[in-house]
């Protein structure tokens, strides 16, 4: 970007995406088509809420975590460019650090999940996510954002693994599609409004630090709400 600009980078990224699509297409042609098991019972969202008291706590926690993360996301480039004047090279190096810890998160995340379970793993991920947000309040130089990028890599990997694990565990073997659909619906809802709320707060006069503080508070609140899901036990036969 520093040398050739986005006009060179974006076509390369597009070609990479096309290559990835073709690779997966060739792989999926070899995978047999499977039909849904008619013996599995379908569940509506209302029935899930009515029969599983853990789901309101889980979904509320995930919603607060995602809302906090997304509210802050439109402000990150503003701090990086307008306040810190970071070059593309510096942002790229920080992104490399994030990707490294993203990889390490996948490498060790599964072992942690097996040891402490999905809910507790999510509580850790949500708490770490506050470390993604808070450095933007006091950063005066680019290197002060290093903890944020490290935490972002861990959170991306941890949330990816722990949410899939937790949804499958909450659903049991019979209702994974219904639970996964409800989880995706809530995630889409927060994704629709989260960035807009952050931008709206700035437009009505909130300081950037106040939006970051609120975002960090929401993601920590999500970790606290998950306590309700951890304390509510339900077994499947």
How far is Cα 104 from Cα 112, in angstroms, rounded to an integer?
12
CA dihedral (203, 206, 207, 213) positive or negative: negative
The whole-number pLDDT of residue 46 equals: 86
Q: What is the pTM of this model?
A: 0.85
Buried b / exposed e along 99-110 (16+ C-beta atoms within 10 A): eebbeebbeebe
With CA atoms as reference, report the closest residue to 59 among 209, 234, 187.
187
Neighbours of 158 (CB within 10 A): 25
Q: How confident is the model at residue 236 (pLDDT cuts 50, 70, 90)?
A: very low
The 10s digit of each residue's pLDDT in 24-56 is 888 888 777 765 555 556 778 888 888 888 999
Contact between 161 and 36 (Cβ < 8 Å): no
How far is Cα 225 from Cα 77, in angstroms, rounded to an integer?
30
The 10s digit of each residue's pLDDT in 61-85 is 999 999 999 999 999 999 999 999 9
Long-range CB contacts for residues 184-190, cutoff 8 Å, separation at least 24 = 185/45, 186/59, 186/62, 186/63, 187/62, 187/66, 189/63, 190/63, 190/66, 190/67, 190/70
The 10s digit of each residue's pLDDT in 144-182 is 999 999 999 999 999 999 999 999 998 887 888 889 999
The 10s digit of each residue's pLDDT in 196-214 is 999 999 999 999 999 999 9
Q: How confident is the model at residue 232 (pLDDT cuts 50, 70, 90)?
A: low
Contact between 222 and 61 (Cβ < 8 Å): yes
Contact between 192 and 71 (Cβ < 8 Å): no
Counting residues of the chain whose pLDDT is more than 70, the rounded percentage is: 93
187 pLDDT higher than 70: yes
Tokens found for residue 133 = 């947000």
Q: How confident is the model at residue 137 (pLDDT cuts 50, 70, 90)?
A: very high
188: number of CA atoms within 13 Å, CB side?
Answer: 6
CA dihedral (141, 142, 143, 146) positive or negative: positive
The whole-number pLDDT of residue 133 equals: 97
């Amino acid at each position: 970007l520093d040398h050739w600009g986005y006009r060179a980078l974006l076509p390369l990224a597009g070609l990479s995406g096309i290559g990835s699509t073709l690779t997966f297409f060739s792989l999926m042609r070899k995978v047999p088509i499977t039909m849904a098991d008619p013996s599995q019972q379908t569940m509506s969202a209302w029935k899930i809420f009515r029969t599983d008291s853990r789901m309101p706590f889980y979904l509320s926690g995930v919603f607060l975590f995602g809302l906090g993360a997304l509210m802050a996301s439109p402000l990150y480039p503003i701090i990086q460019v307008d306040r810190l004047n970071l070059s593309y090279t510096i942002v790229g190096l920080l992104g490399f650090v994030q990707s490294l810890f993203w990889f390490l998160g996948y490498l060790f995340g599964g072992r942690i999940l097996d040891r402490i379970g999905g809910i507790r793993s999510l509580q850790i991920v949500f708490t770490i996510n506050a470390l993604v947000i808070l450095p933007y309040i006091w950063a005066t130089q680019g290197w002060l954002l290093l903890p944020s990028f490290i935490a972002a890599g861990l959170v991306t990997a941890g949330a990816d693994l722990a949410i899939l694990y937790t949804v499958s565990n909450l659903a049991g073997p019979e209702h994974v599609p219904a639970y996964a659909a409800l989880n995706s619906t809530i995630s889409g809802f927060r994704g629709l409004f989260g960035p807009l709320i952050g931008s709206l707060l700035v437009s009505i006069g909130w300081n950037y630090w106040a939006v970051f503080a609120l975002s960090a508070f929401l993601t920590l609140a999500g970790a606290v709400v998950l306590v309700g899901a951890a304390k509510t036990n339900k077994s499947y036969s």
